[in-house]
Amino acid sequence: MTAAPPSPSWTVFSVMETSYAMARDNFPAFVTTTLVLAVPSVVVDALGLGLLGSIVHLVCSVATSICITWGTLQAMGGRRPEWEPILRQLQGPLFGRLLALGCIQYFIVALSAILVIPPLFLLPLWAVTIPVMMVERTDIGAAFNRSIDLTRDRRLRILGTFLLWMLIFIAGGAVIVALLGHGRVAHLVLWVYAAVAGTVVQPLPAILYVLLREEKEGATVGQITAALD
C-alpha cells in the first residue's frame, strides 16, 4: 500500500495571499501589461469579427499569461519587473513555443467542457506548463508531462486556489452589473475590472511552480529563477 504524501507547507489561502501580494506590489507593471494586451480584444469585439475575434481573444489571453508569468518569476527572484521588459517577452526566443503551448492548452480545456473530461480535472493537471517551459526550456510535450509530475498529489489544493479566486471575482462582477446594468459604462468598468482581476490570477502558475519545486526537489527560488537571467 502506497504511503500518503506528506502535507505541503503551503495552503490554498497562503497561495491566494501570495498572489494578492504579488499583484499589489507589482500592480502598475502588471495592470499596464494586461491592459495593453487586452486592446486587440476590445477592437475585435467592437468590429464583431466572430471566429477571428475568438482567436484574437485566445492569443491575447495566452500572451498575457506568458508576460505575467515572466514578471512574477522575476519578482520572486528579488527583481522588480517593469512593464516594458515584461512586454518585451513577446519578442523573446521562446515566445512562439510558449504561445503554441498556451493556445493548445486553452483549446483542449475549453473543448473538454463539452466532451467527457471535465475542465476542472485538466486545470490543476496542467497548471504550471508555461513556467515549466519558460524556466526549463522544454518542448510542448515535455512541458505537459512535467506539469503532471509536479502537480501530482497537490491538484485539489491547486484547483481550490483557482476556484476560490474565480468565485470571488464572479461575485464582484455580479455586483458591478447589479449597480451599472449592461450599458457601455458597465462594459468599460467590467473590462478594467477583468484587467485588475488578471493581475491577481495570472501570477498563480509561476507561484505554484516555485512552491512545487521547492517542496518536491529542494530547489531555491534563486536557483529556479536564475534560468531567466
Residue 190 domain-assigned? yes
Residue 134 domain-assigned? yes
Q: What is the pLDDT of residue 212?
A: 97
What gap in Å lies between CA 130 and CA 58, rounded to an integer? 15
**Angular region, 167: left φ>0, alpha ψ -120 to 50, beta rest:** alpha
Give per-10-residue mean pLDDT for the chain (229 aa).
Answer: 63 96 96 92 77 86 96 94 94 95 90 70 92 96 97 94 94 92 84 91 97 94 89
Residue 114 domain-assigned? yes
Q: What is the pLDDT of residue 6?
A: 66
Q: Structurally, how many domains does the chain consist of? A: 1
The number of beta carbons lying within 10 Å of the beta carbon of residue 32 is: 17
Q: What is the pLDDT of residue 2?
A: 44
Residue 6 domain-assigned? no
Q: Is the pTM of this model over 0.85?
A: yes
What gap in Å lies between CA 116 and CA 109, rounded to an integer? 11
Range of the domain at 130: 12-228
Residue 60 domain-assigned? yes
Residue 109 domain-assigned? yes
What gap in Å lies between CA 205 and CA 126, rounded to an integer? 9
pLDDT tens for 137-151 read 999 999 999 999 999
The number of beta carbons lying within 10 Å of the beta carbon of residue 180 is: 15
List all residues 6 or more positions away from 61 whose beta carbon is below 8 Å from its beta carbon: 102, 106
Q: H helices within the chain, ranges in order?
A: 12-25, 27-47, 51-76, 83-87, 95-112, 119-125, 129-136, 140-151, 155-180, 184-201, 204-217, 221-225
Q: What is the pLDDT of residue 5?
A: 60
pLDDT tens for 193-219 read 998 999 999 999 999 999 999 999 999
Residue 40 domain-assigned? yes
- What angle separates helix 204-217 from helix 12-25, to the nearest 10 degrees? 130
Residue 120 domain-assigned? yes
What gap in Å lies between CA 18 and CA 101, rounded to an integer? 26
Q: Which set of grid coordinates corresponds to residue 136?
A: 526549463
Q: Give the residue among 201, 217, 219 at the shortest CA–CA distance from 158.
A: 201
Q: What is the pLDDT of residue 1?
A: 40
| Single-letter amino acid, residue 186 | A
| Dihedral sign (CA 159, 103, 23, 200) | negative
